[in-house]
Structure 1
Amino acid sequence: MQSVLPTLRAAAGVLLAMVTFAAAAQDLAVVGARVYPSPEATPIDDATVWIRDGRIAAVGARADVTLPAGVRIIDGRGMSVTTGFWNSHIHLIKPPFHEPDAQAAATLSDALRDRYSRWGFTTLFDIASLPGDARALRARIGCGEVQGPQLLTVDMPFFPEHGTPIYVRELWQQTHAPSAEVTTAQQARARAEAQIAAGADGVKLFTGAITGGPNEVVPMSVDIARATVEAAHAHGKPAFAHPTNPAGLAIAVDSGVDVLVHAAPESGEWTPDFVARLKADDMALIPTLTLFSAELLREGVPEAVVRELVKNSQQQLQAMSQAGGQILFGTDAGFHETYDTHLEYRLMAEAGMDWRAILASLTTAPAQRFGQASGRGRLQAGYAGDLVVLGSDPQAQPEAFADVRLTVHDGRVLFDATQAPASEAAGSD
């Protein structure tokens, strides 16, 4: 039996390669839609977007794009097309994403489709999960065994000493994960170096960690925060911060992080001078407004308190956006169970972001921030074959960005509403 195993493994490898190649080789075109090549470009009516060998082959008016025989034609009349969306703040900690090597490929593919690709996401940034899980899932996606989006991850987060957040303690205990707390700058630097060497795409610091104790928010030492950020920057990787309150926000800014993964509603309104500093430091904001709205209400936080937190968060987003600061779209989904993106778009629009600004937060801004602007973030010949077909027009209403009919990543269809159950196609969650 032992002598047969190498042959079986080789045959399985050939079969997997054939399946992966076939999926990547699909050519398709969306014809007749209104196409949004980028946030700043003029939309093209009655247009064609053609994907060949996993990349954009042509984008233009229908009359200007000649398609060869054999291309799958998708009727885009009455629909809108953009490049694929980025969700720059998710967590892969809910089943089945823990220990993904122990999960069936179909289970993982279905979960990624139903939770993320169904909402147009072709790139996900996992902003903290259990050690190794996201990297293992990425490996299975990369070899074609699991169908899913591009996946980036910070791997395990950095908590301050005695600052494991109250809402993840049970998870850490149940999974027997090593402590994510750091007590010295040397320890923080060494772990950041180790995680990046293992494949992490950045680091995530809890500069203010909610512990639920007498000191409800435990701040991270600014020296530890700086050491972690410096280690990431030495390798060209971004540093993210969970600020929580004014002290955590100050530590995040002083340590030189690149992205605030939430608004900080407890810090009140942001002044023009403060926003100017964030912009001068080239810091981006992921607002996660749904977290401060629907999720806090579900947790039993009084409605008046939730309204105030949302109001402050929207003011911070508005101040950043109007000042030209970079906004990245992110939902924090996976930590909570709201995967539906309708509310996030509505709250962003209420904060003064128009369709162009929202589209930028989903496409060009994250591609630029995370070093992929030369190949993703736009519908442009030669770019990755990532696209989203929407059933309505985002110029008419921002929630049209959630009206996803088709999601394509590198030429592979990850979600097709015509093949989804009725509840999914209708967008219920």
Structure 2
Amino acid sequence: MSRTVLKPVVFAAALLLAGPAVAEDFAIVGAQVFPSPDAAPITNGTVVVRDGRITAVGPRSKVKVPEGTRIIDGKGRSVTAGFWNSHVHLMSPPFHQPDAQAPQALQDALRDRFGKWGFTTLFDIGSLPGDVGALRTRMAKGEVQGPRLLTVDMPFYPEHGTPIYVRELWAQTRTISAEVATPAEARQRAEAQLDAGADGVKVFTGAIVGGPQGVLPMRVDVASAAVAAAHAHGKPAFAHPTNMAGLEVAEASGVDVLAHTAPDAGPWSPELVARLKAKNMALVPTLSLFDAHLRQEGVPDEVVKRFVGNAQQQVKAMADGGGQVLFGTDAGYTEVYDTRLEYRLMTAAGLDWRQILTSLTTAPASRFGDATQRGRLAEGYAADLAMLGSDPQQSTEAFADVQMTVREGRIIYTPR
């Protein structure tokens, strides 16, 4: 049998030189393969990719690699399904007005900020109007490679509730107001964005406005109107809760995903978690956001630990109560793209490697209607893969030790 055996970096470089529209057939041989979070890892496994799909997964001794297939040596490495980041913002340069940007600048930014950390799907949950749609169009034309993009487009703020931390951005870009005052206004804009290709909506049920008000909750009827529009289109609704009042609006309006924990709300009781689970709500922790942001602001260490500790308790309570946890970092709002801190904080909260891998793969695939195509390594699934340089069973920071990221059979990241 004629085969070319290549180290991952050499192989990836060859594919990248072939151009953005090229996906090659290959097999990863000899790796520790994680078919899914709930399956036993395959110690000496093989994954075969053809035409952008997975055609075989199993022990090396039982999987026949077709003649002529390029072989990637997986010895000492781990292979999982490609990761989802369920909370990003594609609004900082070069992602604003992507039609005016050089393709290489866009591709490099996607590679270095997201592909480097194993992400094959990103859910943008708040950006400037039309930007992510325009970027997706360029990617569909083959001009730019990168992770698959989902977006809610422009978020929904309460009347007089534009968050204090985005006011300068809104003014600089001269973007139309994202505030909605009435249910009719919320419904109409939600329908317009969804009809234009948005994959969901995001409502700020608790908007940080500063001053004496502090946090401004959105009216329940306004939030409900946007959420109902999303559900009518078969799309999810995210909420930014901030505190207990915002959490109550999110619960009452029927949102699907809490985009953050709510440290200001204090510890979550089993009864609260049971209510959230009964409403089939998921949670995105974004623990590193709180840690990094508070330290950047010079908040004393003991306060940071208490605040982040509240968030960790909420994540653990959600997981213990059977609620769904989705991995997300808020990258793009924060400039922290490195995922190691998030993994450390999730582990310290009490989540094990299987729970973290679930939050990266099968949970978002299921939550966002893609469970038959993505989220696991199985025959017929899209060839979205992350190859790691170490074993996540030994340390969950191995999920950040990414040696190669593959989206639908195309290499979108390998170390330079």
Of 165, 169, 190, 2:188 maps to: 190
Q: Give the CA deviation at 1:45.
A: 1.0
Computed over aligned residues only, the root mean square deviation of the Cα atoms, in angstroms, reads 1.0
Spell out, residue by residue over 1:80-137, the C-alpha distance to the aligned partner (whole angstroms, 9 max, x if none).
1000000000000110000000000000000000000000000000010000001111
Alignment of 1:152-301 (within 5 A): 152-301=150-299
Q: Give the CA deviation at 1:28.
A: 1.5
Alignment of 1:18-57 (within 5 A): 21=21, 23-24=22-23, 26-57=24-55
1:333 aligns with 2:331: yes
- CA–CA separation in structure 2 for the residues paired with 1:72 and 1:264: 48
Aligned residues: 399
Of 59, 62, 69, 1:61 maps to: 59
Q: Give the CA deviation at 1:71.
A: 2.2
> Which deviates the most, 66-75 or 281-290?
66-75
Q: Give the CA deviation at 1:299.
A: 2.1
**Residues 287 and 330 in structure 1, CA contact (< 8 A), matched pair in contact too:** yes
Gap regions ≥5 residues in structure 2: 1-17
- The answer for the alignment partner of 1:321 in structure 2 is 319
- The answer for the alignment partner of 2:395 in structure 1 is 397
Spell out, residue by residue over 1:269-322, the C-alpha distance to the aligned partner (whole angstroms, 9 max, x if none).
000100000001000000000011122201222222211111100000000001
SS in structure 1 of the partner of residue 45 of structure 2: strand
Large movers: runs of 4+ above 6 Å: none
1:128 aligns with 2:117: no
Change (3 A) 1:406 1:19: closer
- CA–CA separation in structure 1 for the residues paired with 2:51 and 2:341: 35
- CA–CA separation in structure 2 for the residues paired with 1:20 and 1:95: 22
Q: Give the CA deviation at 1:19.
A: 5.5
Q: Give the CA deviation at 1:20.
A: 5.6
Instruction: Read off the aligned partner of 2:372 and give its amino acid letter.
Output: S
Instruction: Read off the aligned partner of 1:306 and give its amino acid letter.
Output: V
Q: Give the CA deviation at 1:157.
A: 0.2
Q: Give the CA deviation at 1:68.
A: 2.2
Gap regions ≥5 residues in structure 1: 1-17, 421-429
- Using structure 1 for the length normalisation, give the TM-score: 0.92
Of 65, 76, 79, 1:78 maps to: 76
- The answer for the alignment partner of 1:306 in structure 2 is 304
Q: Give the CA deviation at 1:69.
A: 3.2
- The answer for the alignment partner of 2:141 in structure 1 is 143
SS in structure 1 of the partner of residue 49 of structure 2: strand
**Residues 20 and 144 in structure 2, CA contact (< 8 A), matched pair in contact too:** no
Change (3 A) 1:348 1:69: same
Of 102, 112, 115, 1:114 maps to: 112
- The answer for the alignment partner of 1:7 in structure 2 is none
Identity of aligned residues (%): 66
SS in structure 2 of the partner of residue 204 of structure 1: strand
Instruction: Read off the aligned partner of 2:407 and give its amino acid letter.
Output: H
Q: Give the CA deviation at 1:230.
A: 0.5
**Residues 158 and 206 in structure 1, CA contact (< 8 A), matched pair in contact too:** yes
- Using structure 2 for the length normalisation, give the TM-score: 0.95
SS in structure 2 of the partner of residue 63 of structure 1: coil
SS in structure 2 of the partner of residue 211 of structure 1: strand
Q: Larger helix proportion, structure 1 or 2? A: 1
**Residues 20 and 145 in structure 2, CA contact (< 8 A), matched pair in contact too:** no
**Residues 20 and 143 in structure 1, CA contact (< 8 A), matched pair in contact too:** no
**Residues 83 and 360 in structure 2, CA contact (< 8 A), matched pair in contact too:** yes
Instruction: Read off the aligned partner of 1:270 and give its amino acid letter.
Output: W
